[in-house]
């Protein structure tokens, strides 16, 4: 993707527009904000992918967490997608790709890394190594650092440091956009000829607030350090993980159960404080010889009930091989989902969700893919009309109405060809009077049909047109047979496709 | 022998349901030797005329009917047995359509029962219906209609059909209703099943694979032979033969519809002909106050006689009434079309083209032989056409007047996209397939360029998509309203055809388009909108106001040699029709000297003559470079006026008649075959006939081919002499205004925008070049519209109106002007004064300041903005009252350079009176060796030059096979650049996005016309931005290294 124009595409007012472009695309004259149709007119072979703003955000968050190696106080500035921009107050919108960034409050931290310069070099290099181009700045205010990182004259190393006490002078030549101003405000400033932060600093403050409201002054003051602006660092979330070590190795399943229960009590408390329930738990046992044994349990819905969670493991504790003994156990809620607080009922009535619990227990025992449920598929072709799929999978066609028609109880797959005996009318659609199937001769006494089903022509290797008959033979066996006519080869063949009771 | 008639058919006029054209159903029924076929589309009669026309050629009987889907019951087929019943059906559908939004039809059983007389109905049962409810419905219908009510039996070989037939048969005999077999036909041939499934998927916005039960189980819903139908119903012979009985009982045919002209005009006690004669002679007196010339007198008599013979008087009177209405309301209008340029129409004021100046034979256009109605289109001022339309609705009522429909068809691109989506192809493949190159070659059945767009030629899904897309293209997609074709009737229109609501409020349309109307011989009057008429009317008003000079279209001084000289110089910016690039290059070659030259000028730059390669021969002959010869003596009469070269549509038709032996009806059929999209295979027949006919009569094959090519070109954009004559008058009048009153002309053009070829910047620039003083928009002087002010020297000057300010609203302009008037002419003296008196919102003040509209109170743009930005909140009782009245010190804002001023002018009013951006960049351009446009005329032919300028137009005409025409404008004039496809491929970006372009290329000169054939292009747009923001460090983009993706 480096060597050809590439762009991420998003939608604005129902039109596809470019959200971001790579360097080659930019050389071709493709810029963010351009309509995709226009971009394609200029460069027909442009490769595009949809913008996934949530993924970008998640990635930024990961980088932020990684950045906390430099200082515990970090936060990320937003990336906004089109929908969010529309919802937001237009005066607060930041235009352009200046949204995604990370603040690190490095006060008192830089010496740990050998000084500011070394720290910044290290930071930029490391992020480059992960595969991102980045720029960084250190300044005495948060606003100034934001401005310098984006609009500053960078040295070769892609970072800037504003010497202490020089913030006014450093910021003065930067454009007003560096103050995190809305595009409207920036345009208004530009119209009256105020282009730089320096231009603004020269003016009487009252004239500015009278025209552009208080946001501008606030941002200006914060940037030059007249008012302080702190980073609201993201709170560290405690992992849903508990561990117990044993002074003496344990070895029998009763002990494992006791350990599990003890850990579940702790884990459920933690989950309650975070308002979540477990969808997937990992129970790990550490043997004295260093090897481990794991048990996984998953649920179709979030659970925070100790007994229920314990039951999920119940059947699979006995077969744990303790080896020379287990010295520690851990329990980790790997997947969680939000679960509100619930009040325990007075009567211990859990019967209502018995079926779900049964499914959970069965799937935990045999595996998700082993417990299947039949689903309707909308297709006229009998063998495609129904499928079996894992019961835990949510089915998207859950609301399909079944066609009110009778089909055999047992469907043969694939249909089995029969040998017709005697004359079969080629013109009229009629079942053969006698045919041999599975070495047995069937004499037809009753028949009903035909029901004609045409192939799904858009599929590859599709079959011919089928005429189905429900027939009964002389011994009272009821079969579902069909004649297949292939248009291409002009052949007809007869098959048995199902059995009626 | 079995016989069977299909009564239940769904053609593709039941949009996205049926998968065959009505014509295909008819042709297939003929092949199957059916005696008749019913066309029963869903709540519509939109497809019946086509079926009727197809049947006319084959002799099969068409049963006109409709399937009615009710809101409260099972659907029925409604088959009118006679004319009266047909009218009840059309009124019924009108009722359902008029009460529903466009495209829908709401009907209940009660509605139908009011219209049931003489209808035969077939009640349709759903495949899984509630028998009790059906029984109730049956008795309800049969109770009223007795033996005109039938129940349909259908066997699609689906699950349970046999059983259902038995149940229905039982039920029918219980309630004493006869059964009849139908096959719910959705396509004429079973191979269309794929297409029908695809249409179903398109309709449901899903893929065929997801469509599931929405698709039919099998392909049985096609038209079947009598034997096949009998085999399906071995026990219901009588239900099969009843189809034939019903067909016999339905005696209505569309041929019984008689169109009658409205007769509202003739006052009691006189006949229409008498009334028309009176009006014509009275009009003639007015037109020729000094006596009617003998020639005209004879002509009028002759025409009136012809009109009498053909009883067209009411038609002329109807048009006259509409024109009269417009005239009384001061709406300028002008008729055109075959009958419009007659002496009678001149006398009636329908046209202003003096019949003495142009000799158009009346018979040529209305001939007894063809029995075709005369054709008059009337153009009205585009801004006021709606008034005329509403007048027609009001005068005749919704049930007597309606707009014709236009059938919107699937065309290459839309067909490809929708089919690709239904086939579940990815968006990228869809994009690649819908490329013009793929579609074009698909329609020409050439080898497909799939590889070029990165697709595999062997992918079965793609092959399938292409097949289906080519089948679907040409299918009707929906009905839209015709641009202005009105059908008005003497009796009720809704007795003839259903009327429905259009999307646009206040409009109603009928279900048939202009071809259908032609087929049935209905009269259509085209009420069209024309921007130039608005402009001319405004100019006439200004002339009256400022110069007390009263003129109208007919009294503008004729044949002014100076006007022709101006046009011959291609000095035609803003002039009607001849202002386009192509026309501008033609003008100096044609050098019009008289009115008829303008008629030719209008008609010659059209696809017809261009594709027929008639332009150059004409020019050569006109300039005496080639001998004027005629292919034959009989063609001398046809081609005499145009030096033996056919240019007009009438001539091409006449050639088919005179030289190829066509009957007039055949010639007309040929023209129509060309105009109508994909009329299966008929074009080739006509082509062979024409060329063979011409060769047989001794013409050269080459000439025959060219004539046919030309007719082909006329197909879509036919341009007859009769239309050209009316347009030519507007060309002359607008050119006259431009030459004699450039300020007034520019002013009217600006006030009629959007229209024409040029943007306000070019109109203003052109006026200024012709010596007009232009004043900027200003709060103290401007109105909403641009106005004429008189300079100290007594000359007209143009004051730009507030409408030139981008995004400014008319009601704010009104508010401003009211405030100005309230001040008794006291000008606004500062922003505070202005804000207080006008009470305009802050955002509007800023808009005005930004547009530099405070110049008369000595405020620069920045100072004005600085002051208005301070105005508090949205409403403005100002600082002084609001206690915030700290008087600010006058601040020294950085002053604006000329470049900045100019680019802000462009941003706010799309033009600048201060300077042209190019003159500010001239030094730079000179350093890049670009010369001013003015100097191009000094460069020799074939020389290589560079020019630069703002890109003011970019065109890729269909007739020019991918060549792009671009016009660049600099401070001295404009330059025409031609970019060949090979150069374009290299400079796509430069060609498509540049606002400022530098072009290097070869100069080509033909007479006065200069083109630059581009070789290299440089996008200089960034220089414009630099002008706008001279401040060097201010890139609006954060300076990142461009982000890259890994």
Query: Which of B159, B211, B1045 lies at the smallest CB-CB distance from A451?
Result: B159
Chain B residue whose CA is closest to A200: B893
Checking if the pLDDT of A39 tops 90, the result is: no
Chain A residue whose CA is closest to B1043: A22
For chain B, say whether A379 makes contact (Cβ under 8 Å).
Answer: yes
Q: Which residues in A lie closer than 8 A to residue B895 (C-beta atoms)?
A: 193
Strands across the sheet containing A478-485: A410-417, A492-499, A478-485, A465-473, A440-453, A434-437, A419-421
Q: Which of A369, A240, A239, A264 is nearest to A314 (CA)?
A: A264
For chain B, say whether A212 makes contact (Cβ under 8 Å).
Answer: yes
A positions 429-458 inside 8 Å of B (CB): 429, 448, 450-454, 456-458
Report d(CA A499, CA A496) in Å as an integer.
Answer: 8
Report d(CA A371, CA A364) in Å as an integer.
Answer: 10
Report how far apart the first and last C-alpha atoms of chain B are (Å, whole number). 76
For chain B, say whether A40 makes contact (Cβ under 8 Å).
Answer: yes
Chain A residue whose CA is closest to B852: A191
Chain B residue whose CA is closest to A26: B1042
For chain B, say whether A59 makes contact (Cβ under 8 Å).
Answer: no
Residues comprising chain A, all counted: 501
User: What is the reported pLDDT for B123?
Assistant: 93
User: What is the reported pLDDT for B880?
Assistant: 43
- Distances from the Cα of B761 to the Cαs of B144, B752, B774, B914, in angstroms? 71, 14, 12, 12
The CB density around residue B236, as the number of other CB atoms within 10 Å, is: 20
The alpha-carbon gap from B193 to the nearest alpha carbon of chain A, in Å, equals: 9
Report d(CA B652, CA A236) in Å as an integer.
Answer: 85
Q: Which residues in A lie closer than 8 A to residue B128 (C-beta atoms)?
A: 404
Chain A residue whose CA is closest to B887: A207
Chain B residue whose CA is closest to A133: B1043
Number of CB pairs < 8 Å for A and B?
156
Q: Which of A38-42, A78-82, B949-953 has the highest mean pLDDT?
A: B949-953
Burial B939-973 (b: 16+ CB within 10 A, else e): beeeeebbbbbbbbbeeeeeeeeeebbbbbbbbbb
Give residues with Cβ within 8 angstroms of B653, minimum separation 6. Answer: B664, B667, B668, B670, B671, B711
Query: Which of B869, B1033, B1043 lies at the smallest CB-CB distance from A133?
Result: B1043
**What average pLDDT does the segment A359-381 reach?**
80
Cβ(B172)–Cβ(B224) under 8 Å?
A: no
Report d(CA B392, CA B943) in Å as an integer.
Answer: 60
Report d(CA A113, CA B815) in Å as an integer.
Answer: 67
User: What is the reported pLDDT for B917?
Assistant: 87
B534: three-class secondary structure by DSSP:
helix
Checking if the pLDDT of A435 tops 80, the result is: yes
* Burial (CB count within 10 angstroms: exposed 0-12, middle 13-18, buried 19+), residue A5: buried
For chain B, say whether A112 makes contact (Cβ under 8 Å).
Answer: no
Report d(CA B641, CA B604) in Å as an integer.
Answer: 14
Q: Which residues in B lie closer than 8 A to residue A191 (C-beta atoms)?
A: 850, 861-862, 865, 904
B371: left (phi over 0), alpha (psi -120 to 50) or beta: left
User: What is the reported pLDDT for B675?
Assistant: 60
Q: Which residues in A lie closer than 8 A to residue B231 (C-beta atoms)?
A: 428
Q: Which residues in B lie closer than 8 A to residue A188 (C-beta atoms)?
A: 846, 865, 869
Q: Which of B672, B309, B384 is nearest to B516 (CA)?
A: B672
Report d(CA A124, CA A455) in Å as an integer.
Answer: 61
The alpha-carbon gap from A92 to the nearest alpha carbon of chain B, in Å, equals: 17
User: What is the reported pLDDT for B1036?
Assistant: 46
**Contact A212/B1046, CB-based, under 8 Å?**
no
User: What is the reported pLDDT for B1038?
Assistant: 43
Report d(CA B290, CA B296) in Å as an integer.
Answer: 13
Q: Which of B588, B606, B577 is nearest to B732 (CA)?
A: B577
The alpha-carbon gap from B481 to the nearest alpha carbon of chain A, in Å, equals: 26
The alpha-carbon gap from B1045 to the nearest alpha carbon of chain A, in Å, equals: 7
Name the E strands within B457-531. Answer: 476-488, 499-501, 508-513, 525-530
With a cut of 70, list the residues of chain B below it in pLDDT. Answer: 1, 127-128, 359-373, 436-449, 451-454, 672-682, 713-718, 871-890, 958-960, 1030-1046
**Contact B889/A199, CB-based, under 8 Å?**
no
For chain B, say whether A177 makes contact (Cβ under 8 Å).
Answer: yes
Q: Which of A467, A383, A171, A443 is nearest to B220 (CA)?
A: A467
The alpha-carbon gap from B156 to the nearest alpha carbon of chain A, in Å, equals: 8
Q: What is the per-residue pLDDT across A468-495, written as a single tens digit (0 to 9) for each? A: 999 999 999 999 999 888 766 677 889 9
**Contact B988/A135, CB-based, under 8 Å?**
no
Report d(CA B977, CA B985) in Å as an integer.
Answer: 16
Interface test with chain B among A193, A194, A199, A447, by most B beta carbons within 10 Å: A193
B837: three-class secondary structure by DSSP:
helix
**Contact B886/A158, CB-based, under 8 Å?**
no
Q: Which of A57-66, A118-127, B370-379 has the highest mean pLDDT?
A: A118-127
The alpha-carbon gap from B218 to the nearest alpha carbon of chain A, in Å, equals: 5
Report d(CA B401, CA B394) in Å as an integer.
Answer: 9
**Contact B992/A41, CB-based, under 8 Å?**
yes
Q: Which residues in A lie closer than 8 A to residue B891 (C-beta atoms)?
A: 203, 207
A positions 78-97 inside 8 Å of B (CB): 96-97
Report d(CA B774, CA B798) in Å as an integer.
Answer: 5
- pLDDT band at residue A402 under the 50/70/90 scheme: low
For chain B, say whether A19 makes contact (Cβ under 8 Å).
Answer: no
User: What is the reported pLDDT for B62?
Assistant: 95
Q: What is the 3-state secondary structure (H, E, C) of B875-918?
A: CCCCHHHHCCCCCCCCCCCCCCCHHHHHHHHHHHHCCCCCCCHH
The CB density around residue B890, as the number of other CB atoms within 10 Å, is: 9
Q: Which residues in A lie closer than 8 A to residue B209 (C-beta atoms)?
A: 456, 458-459
- Distances from the Cα of B789 to the Cαs of B364, B573, B772, in angstroms? 49, 22, 11
Report d(CA A243, CA A286) in Å as an integer.
Answer: 11
For chain B, say whether A403 makes contact (Cβ under 8 Å).
Answer: yes
Q: What is the 3-state secondary structure (H, E, C) of B659-687?
A: CCCCCHHHHHHHHHHHHCCCCCCHHHHHH
Sign of CA dihedral B24, B27, B31, B33: positive
Q: Which residues in A lie closer than 8 A to residue B1036 (C-beta atoms)?
A: 96, 175, 177, 186
The alpha-carbon gap from B516 to the nearest alpha carbon of chain A, in Å, equals: 36
Cβ(B653)–Cβ(B671) under 8 Å?
A: yes
CA angle B256, B259, B265 (to 5 degrees): 150
Q: What is the per-residue pLDDT across A208-230, written as a single tens digit (0 to 9) for each? A: 888 887 778 888 888 888 877 76
**Contact B464/A458, CB-based, under 8 Å?**
yes
% of chain A with per-residue pLDDT over 70: 84
Report d(CA B308, CA B287) in Å as an integer.
Answer: 23
């Amino acid at each position: 993707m480096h060597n050809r124009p590439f762009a991420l595409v998003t939608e604005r007012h129902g039109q596809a527009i470019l959200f971001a472009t790579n360097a080659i695309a930019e050389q071709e004259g493709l810029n963010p904000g351009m309509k995709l149709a226009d971009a394609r007119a200029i460069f027909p072979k442009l490769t595009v992918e949809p913008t996934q703003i949530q993924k970008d955000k998640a990635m930024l968050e990961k980088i932020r967490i990684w950045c906390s190696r430099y200082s515990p106080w970090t936060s990320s500035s937003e990336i906004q997608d089109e929908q969010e921009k529309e919802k937001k107050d237009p005066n607060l919108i930041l235009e352009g790709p200046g949204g995604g960034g990370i603040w690190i409050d490095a006060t008192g931290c830089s010496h740990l890394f050998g000084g500011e310069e070394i720290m910044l070099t290290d930071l930029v290099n490391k992020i480059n190594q992960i595969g991102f181009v980045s720029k960084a700045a250190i300044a005495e205010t948060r606003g100034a650092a934001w401005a310098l990182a984006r609009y500053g004259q960078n040295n070769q190393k892609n970072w800037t440091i504003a010497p202490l006490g020089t913030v006014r002078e450093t910021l003065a030549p930067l454009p007003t956009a560096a103050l995190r101003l809305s595009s409207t405000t920036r345009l208004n400033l530009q119209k009256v000829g105020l282009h730089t932060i320096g231009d603004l600093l020269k003016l009487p403050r009252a004239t500015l607030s009278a025209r552009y409201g208080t946001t501008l002054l606030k941002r200006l003051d914060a940037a030059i350090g007249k008012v302080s602006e702190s980073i609201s660092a993201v709170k560290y979330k405690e992992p849903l993980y508990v561990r117990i070590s044993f002074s003496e190795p344990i070895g029998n399943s009763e002990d494992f159960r006791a350990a599990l229960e003890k850990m579940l009590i702790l884990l459920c408390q933690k989950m309650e404080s975070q308002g979540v329930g477990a969808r997937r738990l990992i129970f790990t046992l550490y043997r004295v010889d260093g090897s481990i044994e794991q048990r996984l349990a998953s649920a179709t819905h979030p659970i925070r009930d100790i007994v229920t969670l314990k039951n999920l493991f119940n059947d699979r504790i006995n077969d744990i091989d303790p080896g020379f003994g287990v010295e520690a156990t851990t329990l980790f809620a790997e997947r969680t989902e939000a679960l509100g607080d619930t009040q325990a009922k007075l009567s211990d009535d859990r019967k209502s969700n018995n079926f779900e619990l049964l499914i959970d227990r069965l799937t935990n025992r045999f595996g998700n893919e082993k417990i299947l449920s039949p689903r309707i598929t909308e297709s006229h072709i009998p063998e495609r009309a129904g499928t079996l799929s894992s019961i835990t999978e949510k089915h998207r066609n859950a609301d399909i109405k079944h066609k009110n028609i009778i089909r055999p109880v047992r469907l043969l797959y694939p249909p089995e060809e029969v040998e017709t005996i005697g004359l079969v009318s080629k013109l009229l659609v009629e079942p053969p009077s006698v045919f041999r199937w599975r070495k047995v001769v069937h004499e037809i006494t009753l028949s009903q049909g035909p029901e004609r089903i045409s192939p799904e022509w858009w599929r590859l290797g599709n079959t011919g047109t089928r005429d189905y008959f429900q027939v009964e033979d002389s011994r009272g066996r009821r079969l579902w047979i069909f004649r297949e006519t292939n248009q291409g080869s002009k052949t007809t063949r007869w098959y048995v496709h199902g059995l009626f009771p | 022998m079995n016989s069977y008639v299909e009564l239940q058919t769904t053609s593709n006029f039941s949009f996205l349901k049926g998968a065959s054209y009505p014509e295909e159903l008819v042709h297939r029924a003929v092949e199957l030797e059916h005696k008749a076929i019913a066309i029963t589309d869903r709540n519509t009669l939109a497809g019946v005329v086509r079926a009727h026309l197809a049947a006319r050629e084959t002799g099969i009987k068409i049963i006109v009917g409709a399937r009615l889907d009710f809101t409260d019951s099972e659907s029925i087929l409604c088959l009118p047995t006679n004319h009266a019943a047909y009218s009840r059906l059309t009124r019924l559908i009108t009722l359902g359509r008029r009460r529903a939004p466009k495209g829908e039809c709401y009907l209940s059983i009660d509605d139908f029962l009011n219209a049931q007389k003489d209808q035969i109905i077939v009640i349709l049962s759903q495949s899984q219906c509630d028998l009790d409810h059906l029984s109730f419905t049956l008795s309800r219908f049969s109770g009223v209609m007795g033996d005109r009510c039938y129940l349909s039996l259908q066997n699609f070989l689906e699950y349970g059909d046999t059983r259902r037939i038995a149940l229905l048969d039982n039920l029918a005999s219980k309630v004493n209703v006869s059964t009849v077999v139908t096959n719910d036909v959705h396509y004429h041939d079973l191979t269309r099943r794929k297409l029908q499934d695809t249409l179903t998927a398109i309709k449901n916005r899903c893929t065929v694979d997801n469509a599931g039960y929405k698709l039919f189980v099998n392909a049985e819903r096609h038209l079947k032979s009598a034997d096949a139908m009998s085999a399906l119903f071995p026990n219901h012979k009588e239900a099969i033969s009843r189809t034939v009985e019903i067909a016999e009982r339905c005696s209505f045919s569309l041929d019984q519809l008689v169109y009658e002209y409205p007769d509202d005009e003739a006052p009691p006690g006189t006949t229409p002909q008498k009334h028309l004669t009176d009006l014509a002679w009275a009009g003639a007196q007015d037109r020729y106050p000094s006596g009617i010339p003998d020639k005209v007198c004879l002509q009028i008599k002759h025409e009136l006689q012809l009109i009498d013979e053909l009883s067209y008087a009411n038609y002329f009177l109807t048009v006259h009434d509409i024109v009269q209405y417009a005239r009384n309301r001061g709406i300028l209008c002008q008729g055109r079309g075959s009958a419009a340029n007659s002496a009678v129409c001149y006398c009636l004021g329908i046209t202003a083209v003096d019949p003495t100046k142009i000799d158009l034979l009346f018979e040529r256009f209305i001939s007894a032989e063809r029995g075709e109605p005369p054709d008059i289109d009337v153009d009205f001022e585009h801004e006021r056409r709606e008034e005329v339309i509403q007048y027609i609705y009001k005068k005749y009522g919704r049930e007597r007047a309606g707009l014709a429909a236009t059938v919107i068809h699937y065309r290459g691109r839309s067909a490809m996209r929708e089919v690709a989506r239904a086939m579940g192809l990815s968006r990228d493949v869809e994009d690649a397939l819908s490329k013009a190159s793929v579609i074009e070659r698909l329609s020409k059945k050439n080898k497909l360029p799939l590889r070029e767009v990165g697709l595999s030629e062997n992918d079965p899904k793609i092959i399938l998509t292409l097949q289906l897309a080519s089948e679907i293209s040409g299918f009707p997609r929906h009905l839209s309203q015709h641009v202005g074709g009105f059908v008005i009737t003497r009796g009720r229109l809704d007795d003839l055809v259903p009327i429905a609501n259009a999307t646009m409020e206040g409009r109603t349309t009928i279900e048939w388009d202009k071809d259908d109307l032609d087929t049935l011989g209905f009269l259509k009057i085209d009420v069209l909108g024309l921007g130039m008429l608005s402009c001319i009317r405004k100019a006439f008003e200004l002339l009256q106001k400022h110069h007390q000079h009263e003129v109208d279209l007919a009294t503008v001084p004729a044949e002014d040699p100076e006007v022709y000289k101006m046009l011959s110089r291609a000095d035609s910016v803003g002039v009607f029709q001849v202002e386009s690039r192509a026309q501008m290059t033609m003008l100096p070659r044609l050098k019009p000297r008289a009115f008829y030259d303008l008629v030719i000028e209008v008609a010659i730059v059209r696809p017809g003559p261009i594709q027929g390669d008639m332009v150059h021969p004409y020019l050569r002959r006109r300039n005496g470079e080639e001998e004027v010869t005629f292919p034959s003596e009989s063609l001398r009469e046809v081609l005499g006026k145009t030096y033996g070269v056919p240019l007009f549509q009438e001539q091409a038709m006449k050639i088919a008649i005179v030289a190829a032996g066509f009957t007039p009806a055949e010639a007309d059929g040929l023209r129509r075959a060309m105009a109508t999209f994909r009329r299966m295979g008929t074009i080739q027949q006509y082509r062979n006939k024409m060329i063979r006919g011409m060769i047989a009569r001794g013409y050269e094959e080459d000439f025959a081919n060219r004539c046919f090519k030309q007719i082909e070109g006329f197909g879509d954009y036919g341009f007859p002499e009769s239309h050209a004559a009316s347009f030519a008058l507007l060309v002359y009048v607008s050119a006259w205004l431009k030459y004699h009153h450039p300020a007034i002309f520019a002013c009217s053009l600006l006030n009629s925008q959007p229209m024409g070829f040029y943007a306000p910047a070019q109109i203003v620039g052109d006026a200024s070049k012709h010596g007009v003083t232009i004043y900027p928009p200003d709060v103290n002087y401007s109105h909403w519209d641009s106005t004429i002010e008189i300079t100290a020297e007594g000359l007209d000057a143009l004051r730009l109106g507030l409408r030139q300010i981008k995004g400014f609203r008319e009601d704010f302009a009104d508010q401003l002007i009211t405030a100005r008037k309230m001040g008794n002419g006291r000008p606004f003296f500062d922003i505070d004064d202005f804000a207080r008196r006008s009470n305009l919102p802050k955002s509007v003040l800023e808009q005005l300041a930004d547009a530099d509209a405070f110049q008369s109170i000595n405020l620069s743009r920045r100072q004005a903005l600085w002051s208005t930005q301070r105005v508090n909140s949205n409403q403005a009782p100002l600082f002084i009252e609001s206690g915030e009245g700290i008087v600010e010190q006058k601040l020294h804002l950085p002053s604006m350079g000329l470049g900045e001023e100019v680019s802000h002018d462009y941003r706010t009013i799309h033009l600048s009176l201060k300077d042209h951006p190019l003159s500010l960049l001239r030094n730079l351009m000179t350093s890049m060796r670009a010369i001013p446009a003015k100097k191009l005329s000094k460069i020799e032919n074939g020389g290589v030059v560079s020019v630069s300028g703002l890109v003011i137009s970019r065109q890729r005409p269909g007739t020019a096979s991918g060549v792009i025409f671009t016009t660049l404008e600099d401070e001295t004039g404009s330059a025409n650049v031609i970019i060949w496809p090979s150069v374009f491929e290299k400079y796509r970006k430069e060609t498509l996005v540049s606002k400022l372009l530098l072009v290097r290329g070869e100069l080509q000169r033909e007479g006065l016309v200069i083109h630059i054939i581009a070789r290299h292009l440089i996008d200089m747009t960034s220089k414009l931005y630099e002008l706008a923001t001279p401040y060097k460090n201010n890139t609006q983009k954060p300076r990142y290294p461009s982000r890259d993706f890994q």
